[in-house]
Amino acid sequence: KMATATVLLALALCYAAEGIHLSYRPATSQLFLQTTPGFHVTGPAAAFARVAAFGPQTERRRVTGFGFSNPPPPPGADQDPASQTCGLAPPFCAKSRYRSIDGTCNNLQRPDWGIPNTPFGRMAPYDYEDGVSAIKTLSKTGRPLPNSRELSLRLFPDLQVIDPVWTLNTQQWGQIITHDMSLSAGEVQAHKELTNCCDDNGRLTFTAQTNPSCAPILIPRNDPVHAPQGTQCMNFVRTGTTRDRGCTPPNVPAQQLTVVTAFMDLSIVYGSSQIQADPIRARRGGRLLTTVRGGREWPPQDPNSTVICETAKSPNEPCYLTGDIRANQNPQLTTLQVILLREHNRIADALAQLNPHWNDETIFQEARRIHIAQIQHINYYEYLPILLGFENMVKNKLIYPGAHGYINDYNPGVDPSILNEHATAAFRHFHTLIRGYLKLISENRRAIGAVRMSDWFTRPLLLELDNAFDHLVRGLTTQEQDFSDQSFDSEITQFLFK
């Protein structure tokens, strides 16, 4: 059953690119390998649209066996957990077949574990200058700590060493997992407007001197990129904490907050609160809301587009509203966000056809449930073995190859909170894999051009230009990622969010 989920999402990548098929084997890593012989060009994947894995009789038999009826709206559906200063446990956990949007009641014994607006976990203790919240400025010897920009220039050279095995999809899928499980709280999330510690000309602002959230990075005089332009500082805003929000007394050390669920639940698609989820639902056929342009479905326009897509040349340019505020960050991330949206709607359409008696809520929840299962299977059986090793994962019972049916190894004693060290350091491992120039690949697997990533940060218009979306999807599954080392592409070290 779960192997079927892998095939579905693998095919979703191909279907979105119109006509690319991936020779895919369950429990392997073909989705991320540089194996061009595994591809062959055909017509559009019509068979995939018919949902080969869900024969009508099989699906009806499986569903009616549960004996459930159309569910009512979840309790507290009109309340937004993000509007609360601190994450709070619900007053009760209603019996439900489905996950809550905000992650509450995943653990019935600890219903507040893994929910938004709660502190990251920690492996090591905090170490503030004043013991409460101030940034460290002095070393253990009492000498000033070095400038972070100077450290970046000295420790992380701008070199490109190509990975001989894995494609760019490996790096990009890592960002999908990262965004699904963590998002540090900050001024942008709290007030929906940027905190400018530096102005557009790279000069310190008055805010930098008065706002305790400001921690601008000063540019060294010998900086090879920014100093010649007269840039004096880079904008940097500190993560929101329990202390900032009044969750703890002023004398209690600050803990950084995450504002999304800690679970692999596709919060990047569905949101981490009801207020995030409601505007992106079509409220018909269990579908997510889309806009059709050029005969294709795209996410709806974000009403706050001038802030979210700040590099757009016009407020009329596409700026996508999804379950995650970062969806428009870079072209390859946005490409996968669009594919995941379309995959939900593909599943919903199939379920609606098979079960005409279901209402919108049932179709939506069942489609979401299947979609999450697909992603979890790919994450554990296809992706994580690349990073952790297949045998190591089997040994530690993270996966169960060869098992039939469902495995119930849920441990209510495990806190699912994402570790601070993981969110801010380990997850950043993927940055060294980034390629600054994204290849555009034709249907016959030839490079026909490339786009510079920094030219399209927070500007998803690129995806809707000509056949760029198809070319970018093929690029994901064809172009090599950078090697995992201490070097970074200059698009990241020099021109990130320029």
Ordered by start, the domain boundaries in the chain are 2-105+158-183+262-493, 120-154+184-258
Q: Is the pLDDT of residue 111 over 90?
A: yes
* CA trace torsion 151, 156, 157, 158 (10° rounding): -110
Strand partners, 291: 298
CB 326 within 8 A of CB 473: no
State how far the alpha carbon of 182 is from the alpha carbons of 4, 115, 138, 258, 326, in Å.
Answer: 28, 11, 29, 6, 11
From residue 375, alpha-carbon distances to 166, 267, 274, 314, 371 in Å are: 19, 12, 21, 35, 6
The rounded radius of gyration (Å) of the Cα atoms in the chain is 23
User: Which residue has tokens 């995450």?
Assistant: 258
Only one residue has tokens 């392997």, namely: 28
Separation of alpha carbons 392 and 263, rounded Å: 22
Indicate if 429 belongs to the active site. no
State mean pLDDT over 223-229: 91
Which pairs count as long-range contacts for 220-223, CB under 8 Å and 24+ apart, including other chains?
A: 220/147, 220/149, 220/150, 220/153, 223/149, 223/153
Looking at residue 491, what is its pLDDT?
86
The whole-chain average pLDDT of the chain stands at 83
The number of beta carbons lying within 10 Å of the beta carbon of residue 332 is: 26
* pLDDT, tens digit (0-9, with 9 covering 90-100), for 332-358: 999 999 999 999 999 999 999 999 999
Residue with more model confidence, 62 or 241: 241
What are the two backbone dihedrals, phi and then psi, of residue 231, each rounded to the nearest 5 degrees?
Answer: -75, 130
pLDDT in tens, 351-385: 999 999 999 999 999 999 999 999 999 999 999 99
Count CA within 13 A, CB hemisphere, residue 148.
Answer: 12
In percent, how much of the chain has pLDDT > 70? 82
Band the pLDDT of 142: cuts 50, 70, 90.
very high
247 contacts 86 by C-beta, under 8 angstroms:
yes
pLDDT recorded at residue 498: 63
More confident residue, 300 or 21: 300
Which band of pLDDT confidence, cut at 50, 70 and 90, is reported for residue 83? very low
pLDDT above 60: residue 428 = yes
* Residue 200 confidence class, pLDDT cut points 50, 70, 90: confident
Q: For the domain 2-105+158-183+262-493, what is the CATH code? A: 1.10.640.10
Residue of 21, 179, 377, 471 marked catalytic? 179
What is the model's pLDDT at position 81? Answer: 40
Percent share of the chain, pLDDT over 90: 64
Lowest mean pLDDT among 59-73, 234-248, 366-380: 59-73
Amino acid letter for position 306: T
pLDDT confidence band for 307 (50 / 70 / 90): confident
Q: Which residues pair with 431 in a beta bridge?
A: none
Structure tokens that stand for 265 in this block: 């639940």
196 falls in which pLDDT band (50, 70, 90)? confident
The top-scoring range by mean pLDDT among 173-187, 208-222, 276-290, 312-326 is: 276-290
More confident residue, 468 or 25: 468
431 labeled binding residue: yes
pLDDT 10s digits, 11-56: 343 333 333 223 223 345 567 877 544 333 333 333 322 222 222 2
pLDDT, position 85: 64
Reported as a pLDDT band with limits 50, 70 and 90, residue 403 is confident
